[in-house]
């Protein structure tokens, strides 16, 4: 289970703040996060990401699962 109150890192993965977090509407234990120019897909039972995108040239600011399809994931970025 996600533990945002703990001082110990439960899921170490991003190298900076996490700007987006979204739980899969089809698989309750799966969630996605974005920050540090990457998006990552996690299973809450594991301590490392299942998938990590390549580094983008812009900051990723949000991540969303498709509400109608079980697999597509969208990331949103702002060019600086």
Q: Considering its fold, how many domains does the chain have in total?
A: 1
Helices (H) and strands (E) in the chain, counts: 0, 6
Task: Identify whether 13 is part of a domain.
Answer: no
Task: Identify whether 51 is part of a domain.
Answer: yes
Task: Identify whether 58 is part of a domain.
Answer: yes
**pTM attached to this predicted model:** 0.72
Task: Identify whether 6 is part of a domain.
Answer: no
The parent domain of residue 72 ranges over: 18-78
Task: Identify whether 5 is part of a domain.
Answer: no
Task: Identify whether 63 is part of a domain.
Answer: yes
Task: Identify whether 59 is part of a domain.
Answer: yes
**Could you tell me which residue, 31 or 5, shows the higher pLDDT?**
31
pLDDT digits (tens, 9 = 90+) for 57-71: 887 888 888 888 777
Task: Identify whether 11 is part of a domain.
Answer: no
**CA torsion angle for 18, 19, 25, 31 (degrees, to 10)?**
-10
């Amino acid at each position: 289970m996600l533990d945002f109150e703990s001082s110990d890192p439960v899921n170490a993965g991003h190298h900076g703040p996490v700007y987006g977090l979204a739980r899969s509407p089809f698989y309750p234990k799966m969630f996605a996060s974005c920050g540090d120019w990457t998006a990552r897909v996690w299973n809450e039972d594991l301590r490392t990401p299942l998938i990590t995108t390549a580094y983008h040239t812009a900051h990723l600011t949000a991540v969303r699962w498709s509400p109608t399809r079980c697999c597509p994931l969208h990331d949103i970025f702002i060019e600086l």
